[in-house]
Each structure stands twice: as C-alpha cells, then as structure tokens.
Structure 1
Amino acid sequence: MGSSIGANIRRERERHGWSQSRLAREVCRLAGVIGEPVGRQEISRWETGKRKPREWLPLLAAALGVPVDALTGAGTPPEPPLPSLDDYLPEGDPLAPLTARRGRRVGVDAVRDLQQRVHGLRLADDVIGGRDLLRPALRELRSAVRVYREGTFTEVVGRSLLQAIGELAQIAGWIASDAGQHDQAERIYRLGLSAARTAGDTTLAGNLLGSLAYQRMNTGDVREGLTMARAALENAHDAPPRARALYLDRVAWAHAKRGEAQEAMRAVNAASDALAGHGGEDEPGYLYWVDAGELQVMESRVYTELRRPLRAVPILREVLSRYDATHTRELALYLSWLVVALADANEPEEAAATAERVVALSADVSSERTAERVRVVLTRLEEFRDVPEVRAVLDSAA
C-alpha cells in the first residue's frame, strides 16, 4: 500500500508540474504551521515508500486538489521515479575527472556517435512531448558524463566530449522544462554551462544561458530572465548569425513580458537583421531550426503579448498556413497565441474554433507547455462565456 501511495503522490505532483519542494510548501501552508515540518526530503521519502504520510495524507490530497482515495488507491503500476542529476553526479564539480582514470580509451568515433545521438534527441523533441522523452534524455546525459569522467582521451577529444555534453544538456534541459520539471531543467542547464565554459565554446554557453533565461521568463522571473538573455547575447561576440538571432529573440520576449514595447520591437528587428547575415558560415548543427519562420512566430508572440492583435493575427495565420502538422506540440502552442490575439481583437467565435483545435491537439501531447497554454486560452475566453461557441468550448474542456 505504501508504495502505491507514493506513486500516486508523485503522479499528482508531476501532473501539477511541481517540484517536491513546492509540494512541501503547499502542504505546510494548508496546515498553517510555522517553519517547515514537511520538507523536500520528507516528500521524497513518501514518494519512494520509505515513510507513510499518515496524518499528512488529507493535507497532501487537499494541496494536490484530489480526494484522499486518489492517493490511497492502488492505481496502475508506477514507473520508477525519474532520476535527477543529483542521483548520479558527484559532489562539487560534476565534470571533474576521476583521480585515476581506468576506463576505456575514448576516440573520435565515440564522440561522433554521441553527437549523432544528441541530434537524434533534438529531432525526437520536434514530435514527442517532454514527459515521454525525459527518461531517455536523462539516460543519455548520465552516460555522456560517465564517459567523460571515467574514460581516457586526448585534449582535442576531451573538448569535443564537453561540447557534446553541453549540447545534450541543452536539449535535455529543454525536455525537462517541457515536462514541467523546472528545477530539474535548471540544474541540467547549469551542468551544460559548466561543460561549455570548460570547452571554451561561447556560442554553446550562450544557447544554454538563453534557454535557462527563457524558462525563467515563462515561470514568472522575467527580470532575471532578461538579465540572463542579455548576458547570453553580450558574451557571444563571435557567435554565428543564427545564434545571435536566437539570442535576440529571447531578449525581445523578455521585454514583451515586461510590457516594454519599443525595446521588444528593437530586439525583434535586430534578430531579423542578424538572420539576414546567415549564409554558408561554419555553425553548430543545433541551430538548424532557426529560420525566418521562427522569427515570425516570435514577432507575432511579441505583438500578442503587447496586446496588438491587428499585427499579430496576420503573421500567425501566415506561419500556421505552412507549418508542419506533424509537429503537434508547436502547432498547438502557436495556435494558442492565435486564440489570445483573436480574443483581443474581439473575435470570440473564431477564437473559440481555434481554441477547440488547441485543446484537441494538446490532448495528444505529453507536454506541460501545451497544458499551460490550454489553461491560458480557456481563462482568456471566460469573458466571452455568453457567446454560444465559446460556452461550448469551455463546458467541453471543463
């Protein structure tokens, strides 16, 4: 019984996208206690079955918004808990080589194989949601760090290994963020930053810091996100054009989230100018997806965030008319911005039709990003509940 309770607690916590620390805070808040008699470690013990919540069970259920029976029921056999970097990385510098290496010799072929697996993970992320992809991503990261720490190799191969670990950390962090595991994602991004800096790869470091900045912006810490995005831009003077365009896009988004219209549009225009300089230069493979269409998406999102629907709607429609329908998550996300823009333009019937599509697409993707956008869309439509088409969508979603 204890193990099934633990699995149910973990399932409901992950459904909310909460860390164990967040759940502990919610339980203490509901209990009205001073201090933290329940902390992250206690939540971990409950989830792994090492302890039973006992008198805390009703408060756990209340914090998670479920009946007690939902936590005590047997449910389906749980998967083992997700590993975290803390489970398999050493104290201190996680990339520090072992004092006496005894592992196999690592050559360029092993590095090339790792790079191919990293790129395969990126391509998988285009079509698979974060909750489904997180486990394999973490396994790859654990394996790559172990190779670096235990293997023997030349200086050149070591630098290539660090770059591959940095790239792997970027996509693994992105996947963790998409799964709603934001604390985990930040730890992964910071591991990647350590690898990129050790390798002397400022472009990769900028991409990692920008990815962390983007997560910060979208989880409420916009001020720090803007600081990070600016640092990523300013510290990568030799970055290729598409990398600079990506960094500038993140700066633009931060300004838009802060309601700073002029600064946001300057960054959008600068990103377009940077992309115009792209052509034949040597650049990392992870920039493959940065193109004019992606910049248009960010421009439309900036206009939507700034409540300028007459500019946002035409751009979004143009982008969506040619978007790859197999990229379900991104399609749902972009459509969600169109819903908000249409609502701002006082077009509730069309917004409702688009929202219905967003909800349907999101049901097929194990992504916290799309789940959150569904919540945003439905909240935005509430003011039009008297419109029959809107009411039908809201009632169906409820």
Structure 2
Amino acid sequence: MHEPTIGPLLRAYRKDAHASQGQLAAWLSDRAGRPVTRNEVSRWEGESRLPTPFWQKHLAAALDADADALRRAVDRAKTKRRLLQCENHQPEGGDVQRRAFLGAMAGLAASASWPVLPQPKPGQRLGSSDIQRLLNETARLRRLDNYFGGADTYKLYATVLKETQDLVRNASFSSETERNCKAVIAERAQLAGWAAFDAGLHAEATEHYEISFEAAKEAGHPALAGNALAFLAYQKVTFKKPSVAMAVASYETAKQHATPRVRALLLERMAWTHAVAGQPNEAERALAAAAETVHLASDRPEPDWVFWVNEDEIKIMTGRCWTQLRRPLRAVPILEDVLGRFDDTHARDKAIYLTSLAHAYLDAGEIEQSASITQQAIDLAAGVGSVRPIERITKVTSRLRPHRSLTAVSGVLDAAKALPTAR
C-alpha cells in the first residue's frame, strides 16, 4: 500500500483527534504564537499549499503525530506535484513523443530501470534512423533533470551511457554514422556527469565530462567539446579554485561552429567563472555578450541540449554574478523579477537561485527579508535529490546565525535543521 501524501495524512490525524479544521487552526495558533486560519488548514489538506517545516513541527505536537512521518508526506506531495507538472508538459525537441516521455517519468518514479537498448547482432549496421532514435531518447532523458535531482537520475543516466557505449562498440556503421554515435555518447556522458555533480559524486562527474570531451573531439563536434570543458570549469568553480583559462577555452573551442544559444550558454558560464575569480569587468562583458547572443537568429536548428537557454536564464546568471561580486543593488532587482516567474516545480533550481537572492539581501543589510527568502529555499529544497541546494542554504544560514535574536531568523535556522546535512 502506498504511503499517503500530506493532505490525506493530515486529514486522518485531525479526524482521529475529533477536531474540525477551525479547531486545529486555533490549537496551532495558540501553540505557535502565530495566527493560522481554518482556510490555511483546508489548503494544506487539499495540498494547494504545503505546511512548512515550522508548521509541520506544530502540527505534530497538536495532533500527537510523528513529525518525521509528516515531513515525508510533504516530500511525497512535492514529488506528486512534479509528476503532475510533467504530465501537463509537452517537451520540445523534434519528434520527442509525450507518451514516451511520460513512460520515462513513470519508470523513474517507480525506481525502475530505463528499458535496455537493443544490442546489435554481430555485423548489424547502425544507420541514420538509429541515430535519430537515440537522439529522441536523449531528449526525453534530459528533461527529467527539470524535476528531479542527480541523486534520483544518476544511476539511470550512467546505465544508459554504458548501454550506449556497448551498443556502439558492437555495431558496424559508416564513418559519418560513427561520428554521430560519438556525439550521442558525448551528450549522454554530459547528462551522467551533471547528475553525478548534482548528487555530490565529484570524481564520477569529472570522469563523465572527460569521456564526453574525448567523444566530442572524435565526433568532430566542437560545440559539444566546448560544453564538456564548460562543465569541467563549472565544477572547478564550485569545489576548487576557478579556472578562468578553462572557461575561456570552452567558449573559444566552440564559438566558430556553435549556434547562438550554445554561445550564450558558454558565455554565461564563463561570466560565472570570472565572477567567482573576482573579475567584475570581465564578468560584465561576458554577460552582455550572452544577453545579446541569445536573441540572435540562426539558419541552423539549436541542439536539444540548450533547449532551456533563454533570456530569463541569462538574467538569472546575471543576478547570481552580481551577488557573487557583492553588488546587491544590481543583483536584487534582476533576481526578484525573474524568480517571480520561475515555476516552483523546478524546485532544485529555484531553491539554488533563491539563495543568491538571500545573500544579496544580506549584503544590503536586509536581514529579515533574507531570512524570508531563505525559508522559501528551504521549503523547496526539502525532499529534492540534490546536495547543491543544501550546500547553498547552509552558507546563507551561517551568515544569518549572528542575527538569531530576530524571530524571523531563529525560525529559519530551526527549519534548516530538518534538511539533510550537505556532504
């Protein structure tokens, strides 16, 4: 029997306590010292809104319930929301079929493995239709990252990469098809590398990115090779010293052959490296170039692996760079604007971006507003299979801790304790 999400579980606890929604609201208001209405309890039970860790704690006390059970039920509700969002989402990218995409989602949610790729018989020849099938399947795989963290997707991506390598190793093909197969391996190795990075598996991520770079070179695909270098540079920025040389090389490798969105992506990642390295002028130039480039027309189709790159993506990176450079007056308006349009179903990414906004408010001396934004990030990060939001929230809360005498800050610090410990 499936465990319930928070709405049915909360309803069951309340009925066992022989309480109405209004009575529960009154109990909570008395216990928490903060007002909560009957309508809010109704929204929790209907899951149009979910109780935050603060209210989960007081619900557990008021209803004599298991606090961990409530937290897990909220996490299941968040996963349910993301799956429903996927059902209503028609993925872009050529012949990617909605039914197949939903099949992938259902398989992942059930922890089932991706269907094993058919292995060629000795001497079987791969052709253009096989390449297209592999590209379509890669597009479906890529969209899982919109809704799930690397801890959820890494095993799937790594398995599919290995199956693809085995498929290509045992097949025969023309020289052109061989190059196209190598490009597919490069794309899938980048997926596996990104998921490993997101899950905190940094040695595995580096290995996959290096496999991608070599495969892209063998394919004669400079844009994919540049993207592999950009991933490696981003990893160095996050966990080691920033490698400006590698970030610049990623753009230089690809720029002559890349489409506008690919160039914009590599430029914004280069800008981030400059920002972390404390180079504001270089970061600003790269951001300006990315903002201009993303709108350029092209007579070539954009590759699916940049389907998400648009004006808002460049704005988010711009706000993050200005936060990194401690320019809150430039960062806050940009991040407030774009995050107001950012869908909560992309919980991991929005939680990460909100922490940049929280840092910017701290730099501006707006402590309580920073705490409020951090609470939003905590609510989104709960149950997400990624170490990155936790790591970023931890950095914000460490800066908030000297202000724990403020009620808003103490509540956020308590809520952060319920999150898993970052590696």
Normalised by the size of structure 2, how large is the TM-score?
Answer: 0.68
**In the alignment, what sits opposite 1:85?**
none
Is 1:130 paired with 2:187? no
Q: Distance in 1 between matches of 2:210 and 2:123?
A: 26
RMSD after superposition: 1.4
**In the alignment, what sits opposite 1:114?**
134
The answer (yes or no) to whether the contact 1:275–1:292 under 8 Å persists in 2 is yes
Q: CA deviation at 1:248?
A: 1.0
Match of 2:202, as an amino acid? H
Is 1:330 paired with 2:349? yes
**In the alignment, what sits opposite 1:367?**
386
Q: CA deviation at 1:154?
A: 1.4
Residue among 195, 211, 229 paired with 2:247: 229
**In the alignment, what sits opposite 2:306?**
287
The answer (yes or no) to whether the contact 2:157–2:192 under 8 Å persists in 1 is yes
Residue among 209, 219, 222 paired with 1:189: 209
Match of 1:112, as an amino acid? Q
**In the alignment, what sits opposite 1:65?**
none
Q: Distance in 1 between matches of 2:412 and 2:272?
A: 29
Structure 1 stretch 150-159 or stretch 293-302: which is displaced more?
A: 150-159
Q: Distance in 2 between matches of 1:395 and 1:290?
A: 36
Q: Distance in 2 between matches of 1:362 and 1:258?
A: 27
Q: Distance in 1 between matches of 2:208 and 2:249?
A: 19
**In the alignment, what sits opposite 1:260?**
279
**In the alignment, what sits opposite 1:248?**
267
**In the alignment, what sits opposite 2:44?**
none
Is 1:271 paired with 2:283? no
Is 1:206 paired with 2:226? yes
**In the alignment, what sits opposite 2:413?**
394
Q: Distance in 1 between matches of 2:131 and 2:335?
A: 40
SS of the residue 2:308 aligns to: coil
**In the alignment, what sits opposite 2:168?**
148
Q: Distance in 2 between matches of 1:219 and 1:153?
A: 40
Aligned length: 296
1:82-121 correspondence to structure 2 within 5 Å: 102=122, 104-121=124-141
Unpaired segments ≥5 residues, structure 2 = 1-120, 418-423
SS of the residue 2:294 aligns to: helix
SS of the residue 2:383 aligns to: coil
**In the alignment, what sits opposite 1:296?**
315
Q: Distance in 1 between matches of 2:297 and 2:214?
A: 28
Is 1:175 paired with 2:195? yes
Deviations 1:255-282 (A, max 9, x none): 1101111111111111112223234533
Q: Distance in 2 between matches of 1:230 and 1:354?
A: 33
SS of the residue 1:235 aligns to: helix
SS of the residue 1:119 aligns to: helix
Q: CA deviation at 1:134?
A: 0.6
Normalised by the size of structure 1, how large is the TM-score?
Answer: 0.72
The answer (yes or no) to whether the contact 1:242–1:278 under 8 Å persists in 2 is no
Q: CA deviation at 1:138?
A: 0.6
Q: Distance in 2 between matches of 1:216 and 1:103?
A: 42
Q: Distance in 2 between matches of 1:214 and 1:234?
A: 16
Could you tell me the percent identity over the aligned residues?
40
Q: CA deviation at 1:348?
A: 1.1
Q: Distance in 2 between matches of 1:217 and 1:177?
A: 12
The answer (yes or no) to whether the contact 2:145–2:153 under 8 Å persists in 1 is yes
**In the alignment, what sits opposite 1:310?**
329
Match of 2:400, as an amino acid? L
1:345-364 correspondence to structure 2 within 5 Å: 345-364=364-383
Deviations 1:101-127 (A, max 9, x none): 935322223222211221111100110
Q: Distance in 2 between matches of 1:388 and 1:220?
A: 36
Q: Distance in 2 between matches of 1:280 and 1:290?
A: 18
Q: Distance in 1 between matches of 2:123 and 2:212?
A: 23
SS of the residue 2:338 aligns to: helix
Match of 1:137, as an amino acid? Y
Q: Distance in 2 between matches of 1:104 and 1:178?
A: 37
Structure 1 stretch 387-396 or stretch 295-304: which is displaced more?
A: 387-396
Residue among 356, 373, 379 paired with 2:398: 379
1:182–1:103 CA distance, 2 compared to 1 (3 A): farther
The answer (yes or no) to whether the contact 2:229–2:247 under 8 Å persists in 1 is yes
Is 1:160 paired with 2:180? yes
Match of 1:367, as an amino acid? S
The answer (yes or no) to whether the contact 2:375–2:415 under 8 Å persists in 1 is no
SS of the residue 1:283 aligns to: coil
Q: CA deviation at 1:151?
A: 0.8
Q: Distance in 2 between matches of 1:270 and 1:112?
A: 33
The answer (yes or no) to whether the contact 2:344–2:380 under 8 Å persists in 1 is no
